[in-house]
């Protein structure tokens, strides 16, 4: 069965230094091994795709990417250079790679222009955003033009984790919980809920947000979100739809990246339906063989497996 993997990372020699703070969360030998794979496209990546039956990887710059750059002009330049590089990789291997653009969100107007260029001129399939940009999140009004352009272009924004802007008090003394083991998922789910409750999807009803890691735990929380919203102090917030879960089911799609477990997959299918889930590995942070074996052996119908493995991605990304 055809497989399209949506959260597959890369870096370049010019960009790898941005990942050093995050690399400190990993064992040094693990990070060095991952870095070699992030820089590679043909020696290991393509042969593994062939070996395990991954037909297409949608490539994205590894976290935190250009969003960590403090100088706005440098961020604008690096985003364009990275997207040009990515487009060249895709062009060299037609049918095997696609790409999500990096955006210089330090300058929202430049980010809109870069998204437009990346999609219309370079053929990229949307953009991947690595969490916050110096403490600013995608629910801010300054980013509404980006949502407007993404909606008009018919492309998604993929919200990927990054280190938090600051260290939460309740993590101090337990820094082992910082990063992918716990805090990244909570941070990313919170970011997504900020987008929901700020009314972004009321203003841009055809916009699509993608969340990795089986929805960053949100599929399992829909009932509670809805019931607590019924009597919460809404602080003046008025949503156009009756339930918060309506936005998650209609404007958010999720991927299986980094979660090779049946319980969260089946729970997500019950919560969202198979039409909202897409296959991913999270390469090279996760292993292709494990991700493929997981989805091939999942106790689901062949019709649902086809949706998750490739049909949903083909529809969303026009692949």
* Separation of alpha carbons 156 and 289, rounded Å: 27
Tell me the two tokens of residue 13. 């020699």
Cis previous bond, 93, omega within 30: no
- Other Cβ atoms less than 10 A from the Cβ of 237: the count is 11
**Residue partners of 60: CB distance under 8 A and separation at least 6:** 7, 8, 9, 10, 99, 100, 102, 128, 158, 160
Distance CA 91, CA 97 (A): 8
55, 206, 275, 282: which one is catalytic?
282
CA distances from 23 to 31, 134, 156, 196, 262 (A): 6, 18, 27, 31, 29
Q: Cβ distance 194 to 137 under 8 Å?
A: yes
Handedness of CA 256, 196, 276, 45 (dihedral sign): negative
Q: Which residue has the tokens 């292993």?
A: 287
Q: For residue 22, which of 88, 68, 60 has the smallest C-alpha distance?
A: 68
The residue to which tokens 């991700």 are assigned: 291
Output the six-digit token pair for 198: 């700020």
Residue 216, both tokens: 């960053």
Beta strand extents in 181-291 (DSSP E only):
209-211, 252-255, 277-278
Q: 77: cis peptide before it, omega within 30°?
A: no
Measured distance CA(60)–CA(267) in Å, rounded: 27
Q: Is 50 a catalytic residue?
A: no
Q: Catalytic amino acids?
A: 282
């Amino acid at each position: 069965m055809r497989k399209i993997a949506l959260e597959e990372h890369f870096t370049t020699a010019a960009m790898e230094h941005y990942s050093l703070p995050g690399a400190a969360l990993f064992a040094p030998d693990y990070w060095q091994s991952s870095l070699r794979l992030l820089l590679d496209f043909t020696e290991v990546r393509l042969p593994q795709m062939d070996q395990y039956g991954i037909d297409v990887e949608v490539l994205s710059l590894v976290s935190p990417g250009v969003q960590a750059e403090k100088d706005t002009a440098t961020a604008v330049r690096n985003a364009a250079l990275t997207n040009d590089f990515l487009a060249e990789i895709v062009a060299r291997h037609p049918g095997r790679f696609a790409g999500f653009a990096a955006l210089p969100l330090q300058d929202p107007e430049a980010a809109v222009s870069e998204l437009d260029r990346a999609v219309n001129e370079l053929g990229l399939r949307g953009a991947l955003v690595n969490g916050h940009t110096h403490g600013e999140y995608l629910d801010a009004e300054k980013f509404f033009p980006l949502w407007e352009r993404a909606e008009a272009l018919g492309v998604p924004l993929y919200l990927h984790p990054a280190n938090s802007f600051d260290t939460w008090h309740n993590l101090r003394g337990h820094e082992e919980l910082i990063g992918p083991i716990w805090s990244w998922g909570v941070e990313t789910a919170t970011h997504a809920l900020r987008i929901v409750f700020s009314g972004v999807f009321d203003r841009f009803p055809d916009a699509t947000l993608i969340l990795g890691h089986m929805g960053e735990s949100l599929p399992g929380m829909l009932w509670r979100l809805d019931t607590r919203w019924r009597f919460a102090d809404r602080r003046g917030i008025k949503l156009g739809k009756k339930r918060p879960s309506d936005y998650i089911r209609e404007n958010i799609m999720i991927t299986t990246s980094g979660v090779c477990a049946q319980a969260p997959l089946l729970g997500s299918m019950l919560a969202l339906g198979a039409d909202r889930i897409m296959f991913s590995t999270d390469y090279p942070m996760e292993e292709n063989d494990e991700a493929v074996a997981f989805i091939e052996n999942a106790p689901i119908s062949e019709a649902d497996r086809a949706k998750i493995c490739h049909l949903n991605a083909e529809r969303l990304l026009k692949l």
